[in-house]
Amino acid sequence: MRAIESLGDLKGKRVLVRSDFNVPLDAEKNITDDGRIQAALPTLRTLLDAGARVIITAHLGRPKGQVNPDFSLAPVAKRLGEVTGVTVTLAEDTVGPSAKAAVEAAAEGEIVLLENVRFNAAETSKDDAEREAFAAELAALADAFVSDGFGVVHRKQASVYDVAKLLPSAAGLLVVKEIESLGRAVNNPERPYTVVLGGSKVSDKLGVIANLLSKADRLIIGGGMAYTFLAAQGHEVGTSLLEKDQIETVKGYIATAKDNGVELLLPVDTVIAPEFKADAPATVVPSDAIPADQMGLDIGPQTREIFAEAIATAKTVVWNGPMGVFEFEAFSGGTRAVAKALSESSAFTVIGGGDSAAAVRVLGFDESTFSHISTGGGASLELLEGKELPGISVLEG
């Protein structure tokens, strides 16, 4: 990938940066987790220190191509000004009169944040010509392009892919770090190589599991997806989350793991409740004895010990997906146990973005105790799956 240095002297230049500022907001539009903003700072400071006029394009939520004040980047602009200490101007549009005027007025070392790029339907259009036309309008605002939104590099979108072909372009420091860290874990792992997968659905991670069955030494399965594995072994899973249409596929995975010598660890005990509620009465039962009228909401204490021990003996660990409903205190123990095991491990540890990264912060862990916390759930999953990412391939060569 081309690095920022390849862009030459940036003093006075207008540099368009694609960032991922899709941050969570509360009901009052306050940012509840600014991790993605913090992760963007090294690239932004590098450009500001070089005397560039920084123009940022980013998205928030899913406005579906329509202007929607609920998804305005105003809270991001406010926070960005606070953490950078420089003037941040929020344009009222993305490529319209406000954006053009803001860019024209920006001085060296200042930031212009364009309004939500997904207010424009062409950003995510499947029509190449439509996307390219919008990308040309974005490119007209700048002299160079830096791709630093790892959370979107798996998308073939105008501000990620098409604009990179129209301007001198390079990967930002965040994207470089993400590719190097995830690449080290996926392509050249120090062994034993353990992958911990959780989250709600097996179907979300079919490609990942299939790819890892030829690469990992140990595969740990928790979260909602574990119940489809348990059902594939013939166990009753009650009213737990179950994808019946994936049972045969999962049976194949179990057989392949055995054939390939991949150790497959599933929950041996489960925290159950009669309903999906924070205050539902929790009980621990063996995973092969879940009552028909109960649902599994977390891995049990014995499973937590087994998983933690497996993590402790690994040299490389990748974790993607919580072990239970960590948002509910009564069902957060499994996710907390896995996070604790990773934080105490001497292995190279990667947390694959999304809910796993959110859980680490919600549960109060020191982020510096993990080797790398990804900012992109979907992008990191596609890397684990072995897919080519359009937003990365366009920066190569």
* pLDDT tens profile 219-240: 999 999 999 999 999 999 999 9
Domain around 318: 181-385
User: What three-state secondary structure class fits 34?
Assistant: coil
Residues 162 and 224 occupy one common structural domain: no
In a domain, 393, yes or no: no
Residues 148 and 221 occupy one common structural domain: no
* Residue-level pLDDT at 358: 87
Residues 35 and 144 occupy one common structural domain: yes
In a domain, 325, yes or no: yes
Of 183, 144, 128, the residue nearest 392 (C-alpha): 183
Residues 126 and 208 occupy one common structural domain: no
Return d(Cα 154, Cα 390) in angstroms, integer.
6
* CATH code at position 68: 3.40.50.1260
- 28 burial level (CB within 10 Å; 0-12, 13-18, 19+): exposed
pLDDT band at 156 (very low <50, low <70, confident <90, very high): very high
In a domain, 352, yes or no: yes
Active site residue 354: yes
* Torsions phi, psi for 171 (to 5 deg): -85, 140
Instruction: Establish whether 155 is an annotated binding residue.
Output: yes
Active site residue 378: yes
pLDDT band at 397 (very low <50, low <70, confident <90, very high): low
* Residue-level pLDDT at 355: 86
Residue 352 has pLDDT above 90, yes or no: no
Instruction: Establish whether 245 is an annotated binding residue.
Output: no
Q: Which region among 14-28, 86-100, 252-266, 366-380 has the lowest average model confidence (pLDDT)?
A: 366-380
Active site residue 340: no
Supply the pTM of this predicted model. 0.90
In a domain, 391, yes or no: no
Domain count within the chain: 2
81 Cβ contact partners less than 8 Å away, ≥ 6 residues apart? 87, 88
Residues 35 and 89 occupy one common structural domain: yes
Residues 139 and 236 occupy one common structural domain: no
* Residue-level pLDDT at 81: 97
In a domain, 394, yes or no: no
In a domain, 272, yes or no: yes
In a domain, 323, yes or no: yes
- 244 burial level (CB within 10 Å; 0-12, 13-18, 19+): exposed
**Catalytic residue from among 151, 223, 354, 376:** 354
* Domain end position, chosen among 129, 157, 173: 173
Tell me what the pLDDT averaged over the chain comes to.
96
Residues 169 and 312 occupy one common structural domain: no
* Residue-level pLDDT at 204: 86
Convert the pLDDT of each residue in 303-334 to its tens digit: 999 999 999 999 999 999 999 999 999 999 99
What would the two tokens of residue 119 be? 């207010």
Active site residue 126: no
Instruction: Establish whether 131 is an annotated binding residue.
Output: no
**Catalytic residue from among 2, 45, 156, 201:** 201
In a domain, 396, yes or no: no
Instruction: Establish whether 118 is an annotated binding residue.
Output: yes
Instruction: Establish whether 364 is an annotated binding residue.
Output: no
What average pLDDT score do residues 121-129 get? Answer: 98
